[in-house]
Amino acid sequence: MTQELSEKELLKMEVEQLKKEVKNPRAPISKTGKEIKDYVEAEAGNDPLLKGIPEDKNPFKEKGGCMIS
Q: Is residue 15 part of a domain?
A: no
Average pLDDT over residues 62-69: 74
Q: Is residue 44 part of a domain?
A: yes
pLDDT value at position 57? 82
pLDDT value at position 33? 94
pTM for the structure as a whole: 0.46
Q: Report which of 37, 35, 59 is spatially closest to residue 48, judged by C-alpha positions.
A: 59
pLDDT value at position 66? 73
Q: Is residue 39 part of a domain?
A: yes
Count the domains in the chain.
Answer: 1
Q: Is residue 40 part of a domain?
A: yes
Q: Is residue 45 part of a domain?
A: yes
Q: Is residue 20 part of a domain?
A: no
Using the CB atoms, write b or e for 6-16: b if 16+ within 10 Å. eeeeeeeeeee
Q: Is residue 41 part of a domain?
A: yes
- Domain housing 40: 27-51
pLDDT value at position 34? 93
Q: Over the stretch 12-58, which tens digit does the pLDDT of each residue have?
A: 999 999 999 999 999 999 999 999 999 999 999 888 888 888 888 88
